[in-house]
Structure 1
Amino acid sequence: MTATPGTPATPPYPPPSPGRTRRGRRAVRDTLALLGLPVLAAPLLAAAFAGGGTRRWFGGRAENQRAEAQAAKDAAAAAFYELDTAQRDLRISVETVAAADDSPAARRAVADFAALGHRVDEASRRYIEAVDAHDLDRDALEAGRATRARTELTAARDELLRVRRELEEFGRSLGPLLDKAETRLARLAPAVERARQSLLAASDALDAVRARNLRADDLAARLAALAPELTRLNQGAGRHGVDATLERAERVQRAAGAIRAEAERLPERAAEIDHRLVSLRTRAQALTTRAGQVEPVLSELRRRFTAACWQDLQQVPALAAENVRQAELRLAEARAARDAQRWADATALLSTVRALLNATDEAVSAAGDRLARLNAVQKDPQEEIERTRFAIRDAQRLAMAGRTTPDPRHARPLDDAVARLDRAIGTLAEHHPDYWRFLGETEAVRQSVARVVTLIREDRGAGH
């Protein structure tokens, strides 16, 4: 349609009627209600639908500053994440050192890490405050605010990086302590496992012993006493410390190993006790017979020699009889202890029996030996004399070897030995010679000569 000159042009679409406009606004409100948006937004939304809303964009310098601030924010966020990661990794190392090492150096490292933690918290707080202070996504962000945001975020990033470098330096200094701690922790699990296996082996050994009708009550009690130690091992080093746990594991392993060894040896021990019971009883019976032969020996000594030769043997028969009686009583007690499987008591009683029989054997043998020696020296004292003189001459030759004159420290006791032997020989000329005293004197001379020989050899060994 062409407009007539002088008349206004007819619009292509008639303007909306008031009723139509109202219906449109009502539709907008209904739409907003369905979307859960406030009704106040209706004019803006209606205007947008009507094409009347336009966004205001800032270009040029403001947008460049916004981009730089956003880049500073991203860099600070990366630094914050890296610092947090470094702190968490280092905390694991410090906790490892603290768990495995209680030395002053380790305690100092823990304190230094705590101080660094305060530095990390302060740098993190500054970063978070800078992020919260600036909304870089806001439309109307002025260039000045963007510049301040970039400056504060860059400063926060720099502080985060400085603290991270401090953490890295601390981590390098922690290296030797960490290596030591990791080495000790590496020993911990195997040590605890060895202790557990030793306890299990001891328990199995006791079960095997019981299967052979051997109770081993004392070993079972010792094994039961280790139960609290096993509980502490299971609680771990975190509660009791690495050093204490390692020491406990080694102690439990040793104790359990000893129990296992004794349990495995128990059948052999029982058989050994049975054998000793029979052997010692036989020996006691033999000594009873031998003790009965002492009185005839003493009778001959009294008849043929002076009192000094036999007076110290007068108590031998009574002593032998009492020792044998005590030995038989202890043997009966040892048998009862063995039947009750009180192995330690049985072993101790058998040791007592053996000591009694040894003393009896020596006393009984002494009487016979005394008579034999006295008979020999009475028949031919020259053999004893020559034996002693030979010892003296041998020592004299050693004293003169490589010397023109003997050392007085060596010569004097040898001269005394010669004089003492001569005096002992002189007693044989008496009407009733004391042969036992004569034998004692020659024995004493030989002992004094032996001491001189030892002194000579020591002096020459020292270069004198």
Structure 2
Amino acid sequence: MSDKSWTHGPVKDAVTLATLPWLLAPVLAAAFAGGGTRRWFGGRTDDRRAQAQEAKDAAAQAFYELDTAQRDLRLTVETIRAVDDSPEARRALASFEEFGRRVDEVSHRYIETIDAHDLDRDDLDAATAGRARAELSRARDDLDRVRRELERFAGELGPLLDKAETRLARLAPAVERARQALRAAAGQLDSTRAAGLRADDLAARLAALGPDLTLLNEGAGRHGAAATLERADRVTREAEAVRAEAARLPERAAEIDRRLVSLRTRAEALGNRAEQVEPVLSELRRGFTLACWQDLQSVPEQAARNVARAGERLAEARAARQEQRWADATALLATVRALLNSADEAVSAAGDRLRRLEAVRKDPGAEVDRARFAVRDAQRLAMAGRHRPDPRHAGPLDAAAARLERAAAAVEGARHPDWWRFLEEMRAVREDVGRVVAAIREARAEG
């Protein structure tokens, strides 16, 4: 048998089987000694490791979703914080801070759990993998629970968010309206000045808005959306008011000029009428008792004094107009008008008194008939639909009728009747009756 025959057949196979354990021994030793390959357990351990890894991935996903939900909610809260300082908004912000603490707590527990379990360890056994899976599952559940609570809270913030977004949407247009209002006011002031009117007070009011314009230009990011929106609205209102007043100023000046002329004419006429009061008082003194005219004694002096004071204020108003102090001129003209009204009333009172006294002396029955008609008309109203009048109405009406008869009897046959007192009594009777009629109608409307 040649040497070649040794390499074939049964002899070769026997040699190979005999030497195989010695050839594999170094390789297996290297594998169990950790020579760069993972230890293989097989069976239950691998299943537990895979389950733990799935739990770890699920917890990581829950952590990511919670972080996303918190970021979204923070945007919502910051939007509300920027423009809303109501008690409801402040409560929402406080609740968000509390949620932040809860998120931190569950996130910290999740991170601690991840750090506590190394699922890539070669010596990880089934029991350890099972504990890791359970703890990671609890961490995921905690993260999911807080996320759901965050999402419910975000839903509850819907009305506040809508209101905040509406305000934010108004912000840029509001600032632009303020700028346009300022430009319009400045342009109107230029036009008014070109007409020869200084409008210094309006110019000062417009200049006072300059610092607000600077703040608006600096933006809501620096000064807050709520403050910026409030400032823009206020600047718009004030600038529009300046523009409107500047536009009206030429008409206002013309109106002041007309009133100066009209009130001067009226003052001159009242001065002439005041001079006629004394003759009227003389007629009253000759024809009627002291009680009929005594309260009018001071009318000439009072009327003259008011007319003189009106003339002084009128001169001051004219000077204010020349100096273009429009507010002062307007206020002075109002004072002039009040003084002239007072003088007019006093002068008219004397003439009216004389006419009324002469009329009642000539025909006192007309006043009595007028008052009696009022009483009887009220009595018929009180009896309408009733068998007997309501005592609340009958009593005052009977009193008014008795008062009427006493006043009429006082002037009948009197040598020097107090006609003025008689007229005042007739007026009082009519007023008493008028109050009863109003009470009857009110009671029937309610019933």
TM-score past 0.5 threshold: yes
In structure 1, the residue matched to 2:302 is 319
2:44 pairs with 1:61:
no
Pairwise mapping of residues 392-431 of structure 1 onto structure 2 (< 5 A)? 392-426=375-409, 427-431=411-415
Find 2:100's aligned residue among 113, 125, 142.
113
Query: Following the alignment from structure 1 to structure 2, what is the Cα–Cα distance between the partners of residues 417 and 81?
Result: 92
Q: Per-residue deviation at 1:365? A: 0.9
In structure 2, the residue matched to 1:376 is 359
Q: Which runs of 5+ in 2 are unaligned?
A: 1-34
- Amino acid aligned to 1:442: M
In structure 2, the residue matched to 1:21 is none
Q: Per-residue deviation at 1:351? A: 0.6
2:323 pairs with 1:340:
yes
- Amino acid aligned to 1:445: V
On the 8 A contact 2:83/2:168 being kept in 1, the answer is no
- Amino acid aligned to 2:252: R
In structure 1, the residue matched to 2:334 is 351
| SS of 1:214 mapped into structure 2 | coil
- Amino acid aligned to 2:328: D
Q: Compared with structure 1, are the counterparts of its residues 159 and 459 closer, same or farther at alpha carbon in structure 2 (3 Å cutoff)? A: closer
Q: Compared with structure 1, are the counterparts of its residues 400 and 158 closer, same or farther at alpha carbon in structure 2 (3 Å cutoff)? A: closer
Please give the TM-score of this superposition, normalised by the length of structure 1. Answer: 0.74
Query: Following the alignment from structure 2 to structure 1, what is the Cα–Cα distance between the partners of residues 310 and 375?
Result: 45
Number of equivalenced pairs: 402
On the 8 A contact 2:70/2:150 being kept in 1, the answer is no
Deviations 1:98-137 (A, max 9, x none): 434442233112221243134324434654x479x68x6x
In structure 2, the residue matched to 1:190 is 170
In structure 1, the residue matched to 2:23 is none
In structure 2, the residue matched to 1:446 is 430
Q: Per-residue deviation at 1:350? A: 0.6
Query: Following the alignment from structure 1 to structure 2, what is the Cα–Cα distance between the partners of residues 400 and 360?
Result: 47
Query: Following the alignment from structure 1 to structure 2, what is the Cα–Cα distance between the partners of residues 182 and 153?
Result: 43
Please give the TM-score of this superposition, normalised by the length of structure 2. Answer: 0.76
Query: Following the alignment from structure 1 to structure 2, what is the Cα–Cα distance between the partners of residues 462 and 90?
Result: 59
Query: Following the alignment from structure 1 to structure 2, what is the Cα–Cα distance between the partners of residues 284 and 290?
Result: 10
Q: Compared with structure 1, are the counterparts of its residues 292 and 117 closer, same or farther at alpha carbon in structure 2 (3 Å cutoff)? A: same
Query: Following the alignment from structure 1 to structure 2, what is the Cα–Cα distance between the partners of residues 158 and 257?
Result: 64
Q: CA RMSD in A?
A: 3.6
Q: Compared with structure 1, are the counterparts of its residues 416 and 204 closer, same or farther at alpha carbon in structure 2 (3 Å cutoff)? A: same
| SS of 1:423 mapped into structure 2 | helix
Q: Compared with structure 1, are the counterparts of its residues 282 and 388 closer, same or farther at alpha carbon in structure 2 (3 Å cutoff)? A: same
Query: Following the alignment from structure 2 to structure 1, what is the Cα–Cα distance between the partners of residues 127 and 292?
Result: 125
Greater CA drift, 381-390 or 217-226: 217-226
| SS of 1:61 mapped into structure 2 | coil
Q: Per-residue deviation at 1:70? A: 12
Q: Per-residue deviation at 1:145? A: 8.7
In structure 2, the residue matched to 1:9 is none
2:67 pairs with 1:88:
no
| SS of 2:157 mapped into structure 1 | helix
Q: Which has the larger radius of gyration?
A: 1
Q: Per-residue deviation at 1:157? A: 8.1
Q: Compared with structure 1, are the counterparts of its residues 149 and 79 closer, same or farther at alpha carbon in structure 2 (3 Å cutoff)? A: farther
- Amino acid aligned to 1:461: A
In structure 2, the residue matched to 1:457 is 441
Find 2:419's aligned residue among 412, 427, 435.
435
